[in-house]
Amino acid sequence: MDPTDLYANEFDGDTSTLLDEATHQVTYHREQLMYWRRLVRKLESTIPKTPVEELLETAEAAWSA
């Protein structure tokens, strides 16, 4: 079964099989979403900060101290 196709032609009408496959699909897509979110965070952390962003961080740290 294709990881993106929940209703493949292999469905034999057994609801427990469909439930197991749906659970598997939800888990698969959740893991993929978490992977891409982690990748976005890593990539965003490599983008240099602008002077305004650095100033805002300094001001927030001073305000909360």
Rounded to whole angstroms, how far apart are CA atoms 4 and 28? 9
pLDDT at position 57, please? 92
pLDDT tens digits for range 7-53: 555 656 677 888 888 899 999 999 999 999 999 999 988 988 899 99
Where helices occur in 3-47 by DSSP H, the ranges are: 15-46
pLDDT at position 22, please? 86
Rounded to whole angstroms, how far apart are CA atoms 19 and 28? 14
pLDDT tens digits for range 3-14: 556 555 565 667
- Predicted confidence band of residue 65 (pLDDT cuts 50, 70, 90): confident
